[in-house]
Amino acid sequence: MVMKGLLTFPSTPSIVATGVTAGPLEKKSPFHAGFDKMYEDERCGKDTNEQGHSKMMEDACMIALSKVDKIPADADFLLTGDLVNQMTPSNFFATTVGIPYIGMFSACATSVSSLLLAALLTEAGMSKLAIAGASSQHNAIERQFRYPIEYGAQKGDTAQWTVTAAGAAAVTPFQAGVPSIERGTIGKAIDMGMTDPLHMGAAMAPAAADTLKRHLEGHGTSPSDYDLIMTGDLAKVGFSIFQELVKNQGISNMENFSDAGMEFYGNNPDFMSGASGAGCSAAVYFSEVYKKMMDKEYKKVLLIATGALLSPLSYQQGETIPCIAHAVELTMK
Amino acid sequence: MDKKKYAKLEKGITPKPNLLKNCLKAFLVGGTICLIAQFIALFYMTFFDFTERTANNPTVATMIFIAMLLTGFGAYKKIGQVGGAGAAVPITGFGNAVVSAAIEHRSEGYVLGVGGNIFKLAGSVIVYGVFSAFLVALVKTILVKVGVVSW
Amino acid sequence: MFSIYITAFIVGGLICVIGQLMFDVAKLTPAHTLCILVVAGSVLDGFGLYEPLIDFAGTGATIPITSFGNALTHGALAEAEKHGLIGVLTGMFEVTSSGISAAILFGFIASFIFKPKGTV
């Protein structure tokens, strides 16, 4: 049966290993204990932000492979992305690892869109080992989307802090004892007319609410079926709006709801509303959430990564901010 | 849900900027920067041969030099986060815009990067300053010529 | 003599408050705000109002970006007075040269020394 945008994976491809790397500032994250590697230097010892960005993604990928004693030559597909123009950090690291590669772009929802594509390739029997992942580097993203790093622009309470982090997941056909991918929902691009690039939570919340609704209705599940429903990077303000939208859908119990961006830096006011960036959801999903699933603390989770599909050009031309949210359902048997 | 209804819902939840607090901080930070400049002007008037009017040029240059150091050591963005317009409106904010763009684009080389982007943020201020000065001076000169006003 | 320190603080602070209101109430970007202030300084000088403000507040009037518009206009008007219409074009940077040359110079020097740091 074909259902619009809904995915089911009867063979339940497994995430056998993950790798998460992060920058020096991310030591302030309550999740930092779960990160595999943290750099002392924000450029990872490289000359430019973009080279450091690439290195960080490469290390995350290599860590994930090494955990299952594999080398890049064993992998069938590399599905990664980031937010820099034309995803050059991803492209450059793809040349060094030499795995057949598709660059993925769903802005900050890339963690889930790449995971879904890896699951589809595995389900189709065309991949024995695929690497999915996403990353972002604070300096590289801020200078492209906003201002030079050292420019003294005042950021309000709604602004978010782009994380320096990368997350990679190794996806294989079903294996017992690790989390597996059961279902997914491809989001629709939704534009509710928001224009403020320093308030992206408000732009993304409707996309997350829509994908949640379509996932629950399409797959016939209810929120109480999940131990955790975690959105990507709505952050504090965006998550409050999301909760209101979910309430309007008739869901009142949201105890198991959370947001990676809101939690990423704890309650530190230096980071305003919270974290954002493609690396935010990837780092949290592939460290904290993955580990809690391995420990069987979570049996079933729904991850809804959110992305704002804007460019510096589009908002300077006065366009609104279209957004996307992709959902993936992981189970631990 | 339509866009209008959503905008209303979003407005209801999004916290408003604390106007009074922000304005007070802008006042204190901006006022302090001007006060420091006044002391620097006093320095030039006392130790060098400057008058109240001519001391302005070295004062501005000195303020921009200070802005360069604060920007380079990562302090100006913190002042900007606290002071808002109090840090952006004084000439040090202009200096910060130029210096931050210059050091940011160093990675693209000294010609295309630094040279090409140094006025990325501050350029619009120069363009609007020059164009408005041209219009104002033109109008006033013509008005003087036809005898409506005098210099 | 000492009152200039008080007026500098207050006038400079108040011009910044106007800028803050443009940020928070009118929701303008820093670039839009600064451009409007520059144009305002230029227009005020056209009416001959900015120079008295400098006499009253010293650096409280010369340090905010409004003085940049004032100085450009002032240079243009001074030359226009001497040489007529052609002076409008040639006199513009007469007064403001120090701010722009200092910014270019120090910006360029800074690019040799500093690297941006993504700290909080």
Residue range B107-117, pLDDT digits in tens? 999 999 999 99
Confidence of residue C1 (pLDDT cuts 50, 70, 90): low
Give the domain range for residue B71. 20-120
In a domain, B103, yes or no: yes
Check C99 against B60: CB less than 8 A apart.
yes
Same domain for B90 and B53 = yes
Does residue B88 sit within a domain?
A: yes
* Cα-based distances in Å from A24 to A231, A241, A262, A266, A278: 24, 31, 19, 16, 17
Per residue in A147-190, pLDDT (tens digit) is 999 999 999 999 999 999 999 999 999 999 999 999 999 999 99
DSSP H or E segment with residue A306: strand A300-308
Whether B3 maps to a domain, the answer reads: no
- The residue with greater pLDDT, A1 or A152, is A152
Q: Reply yes or no on whether the pLDDT at B149 is more than 90.
A: no
On whether both B82 and B143 belong to a single domain, the answer is no
- Say yes or no: ipTM exceeds 0.90: yes
Are both B140 and B70 inside the same structural domain? no
Nearest CA in chain C to A265: C120
Any C CB within 8 A of B85 CB: yes
C-alpha to C-alpha distance for B141 and B24, rounded to whole angstroms: 40
The average pLDDT across B73-94 equals 97
Residue B53 has what pLDDT? 84
Dihedral of alpha carbons A227, A232, A234, A235, sign: positive
Contact between B9 and A241 using a beta-carbon 8 Å cutoff: yes
CA A155 to chain centre: 24
Per-residue pLDDT for B124 more than 90? yes
- Are A154 and C23 a contacting pair at CB < 8 A? yes
B136, B146, B151, best to mutate vs chain C, most C CBs in 10 Å: B136
Looking at residue A106, the DSSP 8-state letter turns out to be B
**Min Cα–Cα distance to chain C from B80, Å:** 11
| Local structure of B31: helix, strand or coil | helix
Q: CA-to-CA distance for A62 and A182, rounded, in angstroms?
A: 25
Residues B127 and B72 in one domain: no
Which residue on chain B is closest to A50 by alpha carbon? B107
- How close is the nearest chain A Cα to the Cα of C115, in Å? 9
Angstrom CA distances, C29 to A141, A146, A197, stand at 19, 11, 11
B7 touches chain A (CB under 8 A): yes
For residues A131 and A202, give the distance between their C-alpha atoms in angstroms, rounded to a whole number: 31
Same domain, yes or no: B110 and B136 = no
CA distance B95 to chain C (A): 6
Across B71-79, average pLDDT: 97
Average pLDDT taken over every residue of chain C? 94
Within an 8 Å CB–CB cutoff, is residue A41 touching chain B? no
Q: Classify residue B136: in a domain, yes or no.
A: yes
Q: How far is B144 from chain A (nearest CA, A)?
A: 41
Q: Which residue has the tokens 């408005």?
A: B132
Length of chain B (residues): 151
Nearest to B41 among C37, C58, C113 (CB): C58
**pLDDT at position C96:** 81
Provide the 8-state DSSP code for C63: S
**Cβ-defined contact of A157 to B15 (cutoff 8 Å):** yes
Confidence of residue A99 (pLDDT cuts 50, 70, 90): very high
Contacts of C6 (CB under 8 A, 6+ apart): none
- Chain C segment 69-88 residues within 8 A of B by beta carbon are 69, 72-73, 75-77, 80-81, 84-85, 87-88
Structure tokens that stand for B59 in this block? 């004062």
Residue A2 pLDDT > 80: no
- CB-CB: which of C23, C116, C120 is closest to A25? C120
The nearest CA of chain B is from the CA of A3 a distance in Å of 23
For chain A, give the percent of residues with pLDDT over 90.
98
Restricting to B residues 109-128, those with a Cβ less than 8 Å away from any Cβ of C are 110, 114, 118, 121-122, 124-126, 128
**Structural domain count, chain B:** 2
Distance from the Cα of C119 to chain A's closest Cα (Å) equals: 7
Amino acid at B27: F
Alpha-carbon torsion (A262, A279, A231, B18), positive or negative? positive
B24 contacts B83 by C-beta, under 8 angstroms: no
Query: Does residue C50 sit at the B interface (CB-CB below 8 Å)?
Result: no
Residues 6+ apart with CB under 8 A from B108: B116, B117
Residue A1 has pLDDT above 70, yes or no: no
Considering the domain boundaries, does residue B6 fall inside one? no
Residue C91 is predicted with a pLDDT of 87
pLDDT surpassing 90 at residue B122: yes
Q: Which residues of A touch B80 (CB under 8 A)?
A: 151-154
Residue B7 lies in a domain: no
**B136 shares its domain with B71:** no
Please name the member of A23, A148, A153 whose beta carbon is closest to the beta carbon of C116.
A148
DSSP state of A159: -
Give the closest residue to A48 by CA, choosing from C119, C105, B120, B103: B103
For residue C114, which residues of chain A lie inside 8 Å, CB to CB?
Answer: 150
Give the closest-approach CA distance of C23 to chain A in angstroms. Answer: 9
- Segment B78-101 mean pLDDT: 98
Q: Would you say the C-alpha torsion B38, B42, B43, B48 has a positive or negative sign?
A: positive
Buried b (16+ CB within 10 A) or exposed e, B42-71: bebbeeeebeeeebbbbbbbbbbbbbbebb
- Residue B35 sits in the same domain as residue B80: yes
Confidence of residue C84 (pLDDT cuts 50, 70, 90): confident
Of C92 and A238, the structure prediction assigns the larger pLDDT to A238
Q: Are residues B45 and B64 in the same domain?
A: yes
Is B89 close to C119, i.e. CB distance below 8 A?
no
Tell me, yes or no, whether B136 and B104 share the same domain: no
Residue C31 φ then ψ, to 5°: -60, -45
Q: Which of B26, C24, B83 is nearest to A153 (CA)?
A: B83
Chain A residue numbers with beta carbons less than 8 Å from the beta carbon of C117 are: 42, 149-150
| Residues B46 and B83 placed together within one structural domain of the fold | yes
Domain presence at residue B11: no
Nearest CA to A282 out of A252, A303, A313, A309 is that of A303
**How close, in Å, is residue A7 to chain B by CA atoms?**
26
CB nearest A240 (choices: B1, B13, B104): B13
Using the structure block, give the residue that is written with the tokens 């200070």. Answer: B66
Q: Which residues of B touch C84 (CB under 8 A)?
A: 141, 145
Partners of A177 in the beta sheet?
A: none
B127 and B99 within one domain: no
**A291 φ, ψ (degrees, to nearest 5):** -65, -40
Structure tokens belonging to residue A209: 């609410």
Judged by CB atoms closer than 8 Å, whether chains meet at B100 and A149 is answered as yes
The encoded tokens of residue A166 equal 């990368």
- Sorted by sequence, the CB contacts under 8 Å of residue A186 that are 6+ apart come out as A5, A6, A7, A113, A116, A326
**In this complex, do B1 and A240 lie within 8 Å of one another by their Cβ atoms?**
no
Contact between A224 and A254 (Cβ < 8 Å): no
Please check whether residue B100 lies inside any domain of the structure.
Answer: yes
CB contact under 8 A, A192 and B7: yes
Using the predicted structure, report yes or no on whether residue C56 has a pLDDT greater than 80: yes
| The token pair that represents A32 in the structure block | 């930092």
pLDDT above 70: residue A281: yes
Distance, in Å, from the CA atom of C103 to the CA atom of A23, rounded to the nearest integer, reads 32
- Convert the pLDDT of each residue in A4-49 to its tens digit: 999 999 999 999 999 999 999 999 999 999 999 999 999 999 999 9
pLDDT of residue A282: 98
Closest residue in chain B to residue C5, using alpha carbons only: B35
In degrees rounded to 5, what are phi and psi of residue A328? -135, 140
B144 and B104, same domain (yes or no): no
Would you call A206 an interface residue with chain B, using a CB distance cutoff of 8 Å? yes
- Name chain C contacts of B33, Cβ cutoff 8 Å: 12, 63
Degrees, nearest 5: CA angle C95-C96-C97:
100
| B97 touches A: beta carbon within 8 Å | yes
Distance from CA of C61 to the nearest CA of B (A): 8
* B63 in contact with C, Cβ within 8 Å: yes
Task: Work out how many CB contacts closer than 8 A connect A with B.
Answer: 91
